[in-house]
Structure 1
């Protein structure tokens, strides 16, 4: 879906076009946002701002997405796959946002990840993990607008079987799943096994060679960097480790082919 197999992950109120451009020389993808795209989600975001969290607050979320993607498009930087992480309480604004993303060749990432009470109370964020029917509706709505679509999720949510959910999202037309592994890194392998057609991006604690290799060894297709995504040294280190791992896999596959050819 993108190369190099390193992304920078959305950080609410921080991950905008300027942030994506700054990371572009190190990564293959940038997930902008998260952005609350309907009135109820925006009100919840304002409550978060009132307790000193950073959020994107705008009266025109769809216009804001278009502006940000246009800035990424116009940047004098390496091409990257851009996607916009969004929060919504109904499907209609998902379609509007997805149409804008499709126009820019960008993807839409549905936020089923944030765990703040204000968001979960109105049905955003990780509340969606327990509402499979609505989450599937969001994926299908975005897909109908021609956008590539993914879902950001987290592990360790009570009552949620993430591998089963991943398979359901793949059947609904999702292209990728972005897994915040928390302290359950091995779940990435279960997601990969359950939904082999999904591009799996692994997130949480990605900082160095050890963490990169752990996720890729579990079968992730790519890794993403969260909090230190504005740190070029971390991005360089993660990029080098990722490139190294995939080079090793290619060399191993070539050796296996040569061995089979001589049998």
Structure 2
């Protein structure tokens, strides 16, 4: 899906094209966003801003995605966009934009903010796999590669089962925020043939190698994504890991 096997994980209100370009020498992919696409999720995002969270709230979110991806047209990394929606038409529209830019569309089943969950997006989708699968099918129908961002340690949720539903619906990748349960990555890898990106606490060679040891296909860096020393260390660890797998 991308090389090198290091990605930047989306940071609400901060992960834009300039952020991605600054790290392009170290990573193979950058997940921009997240961005709220429809009325319900945009209202949730406005309420989050009112309590001092950073959010992207452009007048036209689909046009914003197009502009941001266009700004990375000459970048060596593969762009991706993390989106939140409670309805399918905006997912189809942004999927077409991503397909035109050879970008990955990432559906957000990860955000745990009460406002976004009440809108039927983010973590709420982990508990409603039928709706999540419908979003995956809508995105996949546009021809763009589809990733789903998920999180571990959500009560009552069988994460490997969710990932199997994503795969059955036509998803290509799953981006796993392992929280404090790093070994969940191993169970997800065993349950599906999805491309698995492992996230949470990746900040050096040791943490990268732990996730790769659980079978992850790639790792992503979140809050230290603007630290070139962290990115260089993680890149070196992944390069060494996969070079050893291939052998001389």
TM-score, normalization by structure 2: 0.98
Which one of 164, 178, 182 corresponds to residue 179 of structure 2? 182
- In the alignment, the residues of structure 2 paired with residue 201 and residue 107 of structure 1 have an alpha-carbon distance, to the nearest angstrom, of 13
Output the CA distance in 2 between the equivalents of 1:3 and 1:145: 23
Aligned partner (choices 149, 152, 157) of residue 152 of structure 1:
149
State the superposition RMSD in angstroms. Answer: 0.9
Over alpha carbons, which structure has the higher Rg? 1
Partner of 1:241: 237
Q: Which one has the bigger helix percentage?
A: 1
Residue of structure 2 in register with 1:28 after alignment: 28
Report the equivalent of 1:16: 16
Shift of 1:137: 0.4
Alpha-carbon shift at residue 14 of structure 1 (Å): 0.3
Structure 2: stretches of 5+ with no match in the other structure: none
Question: What residue number does 1:120 align with?
Answer: 117
The aligned counterpart of 2:52 is 52
Output the CA distance in 2 between the equivalents of 1:46 and 1:218.
38
The 5-angstrom pairing of residues 94-173 of structure 1 reads 94-173=91-170
Residue 18 of structure 1 deviates from its aligned partner by 0.6
Q: TM-score, normalised by structure 1?
A: 0.93
Distance 1:63 1:19 in 2: 19
Structure 2 counterpart SS, 1:157: coil
1:226 equivalenced with 2:222 (yes/no): yes
Inter-partner Cα distance in structure 1 for 2:205 and 2:67: 35
Instruction: Indicate the SS of the match to 1:73.
Output: coil
Q: Deviations over 1:102-122 (max 9, x none)?
A: 111111000000101111111
| Superposed CA offset, 1:152-174 (max 9, x none) | 00000011101111111111110
Deviation at 1:250, TM superposition (A): 2.1
SS at match of 2:176: strand
Corresponding pairs, count: 248
Segment of structure 1 superposing worse, 232-241 or 215-224: 232-241
Unaligned runs of 5+ in 1: 255-263
Deviation at 1:71, TM superposition (A): 0.3
- The aligned counterpart of 1:90 is 87
